[in-house]
């Protein structure tokens, strides 16, 4: 079969793909979620297990998604359809693409609200709101923000416009340009913050917190958490990497680039964690967890430090960049599909898609105030009503099932020859190992992650 060409264009080089895919992978999850998960689950022991999961689950699934995308060269729905028909399998595999496309839309709806918080905090840092703030003061600034729907709506709108703007300009002038400009700045900001933290923070304690290896603190739950995070942090399971793979020039090694993206993502998570905890510990504050660490504890720490407002602003700028380069890929599959199947112009497709996500975001905004309610799920108390429902349905249910399907598709549905052809550079033992992992290990792991997420395990 002759090679397909994407009607949307392609990355102008291997480096551009690496930057774009790293941008998709590095998100809000890297800066706060990974460090506190590590701290809670035995530090270095968790980091080791996480690295193992990255090698055994994350990177192999990423390779599968990218190769499916490059083979099909269309939006996830059409790629999965064409490739399954080509392989003599049921065209229903395209439903995996549909699920991912809708999940992306829903995730963007709340991702944009949270990204709006980071924009709001960037402004607050710049205006000196947190100078010598007390714990109560910081808590109430946060509470005031999240229970003010109009303010949240304004920030959510700004972030959505930023996202639509990039996507509407297409692969080369939009997605690639954003990655080319924002990713080097993001890496630079991480380094600046680490340097600031080593000078002004308690680097030794942070290092100890993240890397002191205590296997007795590592539980089976911790292992499952590491597995789930290795998958989540690479933005897998919804067709994000698939659609980025569909713009990858042929001849670029999928194995090498995927490994590099996995390593860069981990590097930023570790450096971000070191900087955050150094600053938090230097001010005698508790490591805490979740959004509270970044939006409540960290501002108190910055408020007490020399140059704190400036470096605090840089920290939130880093988060804005991380969120922005992830948000754009959340709607790219749907936008690509609208262009392919509805013959829509890209700019219209991006505006429509963004508007739907924007409207849906109002549900999340109201979850923190007027529509708030709590419930139990998987043995955990969820406090933010519909926001938590949307988050659970997408990241705990659809994404792991999507990852399972991608692994099965590359491992069992596609002809072995097509897979070998796409993986090109990966020969001999390397290929055999990957093929075994993708056929047997990752499907089992995805099932475990799914069962854990819904509270069965
Ligand atoms: N990886 C992102 C983070 O670390 C979160 C994420 C998960 C994501 N799935 C995604 C981002 C899909 C974009 C697309 O924060």
Q: Let me know: does 60 contact 437? Beta carbons within 8 Å.
A: yes
Residue nearest to atom 7 of ligand 1 (CA): 235
322 Cα nearest atom in ligand 1? 15
CA distances from 320 to 4, 23, 37, 105, 189 (A): 36, 12, 22, 19, 12
Burial of 30 (0-12, 13-18, 19+ CB in 10 A): buried
381: number of Cβ within 10 Å: 9
Question: What tens-digit pLDDT sequence spans the chain (457 residues)?
Answer: 557 999 999 999 999 999 999 999 999 889 878 887 887 788 889 999 999 999 999 999 999 999 999 999 999 999 999 999 999 999 999 999 999 999 999 999 999 999 999 999 999 999 999 999 999 999 999 999 999 999 999 999 999 999 999 999 999 999 999 999 999 999 999 999 999 999 999 999 999 988 888 888 888 888 988 988 999 999 999 999 999 999 999 999 999 999 999 999 999 999 999 999 999 999 988 876 566 788 998 999 999 999 999 999 999 999 999 999 999 999 999 999 999 999 999 999 999 999 999 999 999 999 988 888 878 877 677 778 888 889 888 988 999 999 999 999 999 999 999 999 999 867 789 999 999 999 999 999 999 989 988 888 7
Cα 136 to ligand 1 centroid, rounded to whole Å: 32
CATH of domain 14-453: 1.10.4160
Residues ≥6 apart with Cβ < 8 Å to 165: 174
Burial of 380 (0-12, 13-18, 19+ CB in 10 A): exposed
Q: Let me know: does 351 contact 168? Beta carbons within 8 Å.
A: yes
Cα 231 to ligand 1 centroid, rounded to whole Å: 9
* Rama region for 290: left / alpha / beta (φ>0; ψ in -120 to 50; rest): left
Task: Indicate the top mutation candidate among 35, 235, 273 to test ligand 1's pocket, ranked by most ligand atoms within 8 A of CB.
Answer: 235
Cα 326 to ligand 1 centroid, rounded to whole Å: 6
Cα 253 to ligand 1 centroid, rounded to whole Å: 23
Q: CB under 6 Å to ligand 1: residues?
A: 24-25, 27-30, 232-233, 235, 238, 240, 326, 329-330
Polymer length in residues for the chain: 457
Q: Where are the domains of the chain?
A: 14-453
Reading the block at residue 232, the tokens are: 């989540």
34 Cα nearest atom in ligand 1? 4
CA distances from 243 to 171, 280, 309, 331, 444 (A): 11, 38, 39, 10, 25
């Amino acid at each position: 079969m002759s090679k397909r060409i994407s009607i949307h264009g392609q990355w102008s080089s291997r480096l551009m793909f690496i930057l774009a895919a790293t941008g998709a992978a590095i998100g809000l999850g890297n800066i706060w979620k990974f460090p506190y998960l590590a701290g809670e689950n035995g530090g270095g022991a968790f980091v080791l297990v996480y690295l193992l999961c990255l090698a055994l689950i994350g990177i192999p699934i990423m390779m599968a998604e990218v190769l499916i995308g490059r083979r099909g060269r269309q939006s996830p729905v059409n790629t999965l359809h064409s490739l399954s028909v080509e392989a003599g399998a049921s065209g229903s595999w395209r439903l995996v693409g549909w699920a991912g496309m809708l999940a992306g839309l829903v995730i963007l709806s709340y991702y944009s609200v949270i990204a709006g918080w980071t924009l709001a905090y960037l402004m607050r840092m710049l205006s000196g709101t947190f100078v010598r703030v007390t714990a109560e003061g910081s808590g109430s600034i946060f509470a005031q923000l999240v229970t003010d729907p109009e303010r949240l709506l304004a920030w959510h709108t700004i972030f959505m416009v930023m996202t639509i703007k990039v996507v509407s300009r297409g692969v080369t002038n939009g997605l690639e340009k954003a990655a080319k400009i924002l990713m080097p700045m993001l890496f630079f900001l991480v380094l600046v913050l680490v340097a600031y933290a080593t000078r002004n923070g308690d680097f030794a304690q942070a290092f100890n917190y993240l890397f002191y290896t205590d296997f007795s603190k590592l539980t089976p739950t911790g292992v499952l958490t590491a597995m789930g995070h290795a998958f989540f942090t690479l933005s897998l399971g919804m067709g994000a990497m698939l659609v980025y793979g569909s713009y990858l020039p042929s001849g670029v090694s999928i194995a090498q680039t995927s490994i590099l993206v996995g390593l860069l993502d981990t590097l930023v998570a570790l450096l971000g964690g070191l900087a955050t905890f150094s600053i938090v510990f230097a001010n005698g504050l508790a490591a805490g967890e979740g959004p509270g660490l970044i939006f409540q504890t960290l501002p108190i720490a910055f408020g007490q430090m020399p140059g704190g407002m400036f470096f605090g602003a840089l920290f939130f700028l880093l988060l804005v960049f991380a969120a922005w380069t992830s948000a754009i890929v959340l709607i790219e599959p749907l936008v690509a599909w609208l262009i392919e199947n509805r013959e829509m112009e890209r700019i219209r497709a991006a505006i429509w898609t963004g508007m739907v996500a924007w409207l849906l975001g109002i549900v999340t905004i109201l979850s923190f105030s007027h529509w708030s309610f709590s419930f139990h799920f998987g043995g955990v108390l969820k406090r933010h009503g519909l926001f938590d429902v949307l988050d659970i349905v997408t990241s705990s249910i659809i994404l792991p099932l999507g990852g399972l399907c991608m692994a099965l598709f590359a491992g069992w549905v596609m002809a072995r020859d097509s897979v070998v052809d796409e993986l090109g550079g990966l020969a001999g033992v390397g290929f055999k190992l990957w093929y075994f992992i993708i056929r047997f290990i990752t499907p089992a792991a995805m099932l475990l992650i799914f069962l854990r997420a819904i509270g069965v395990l």
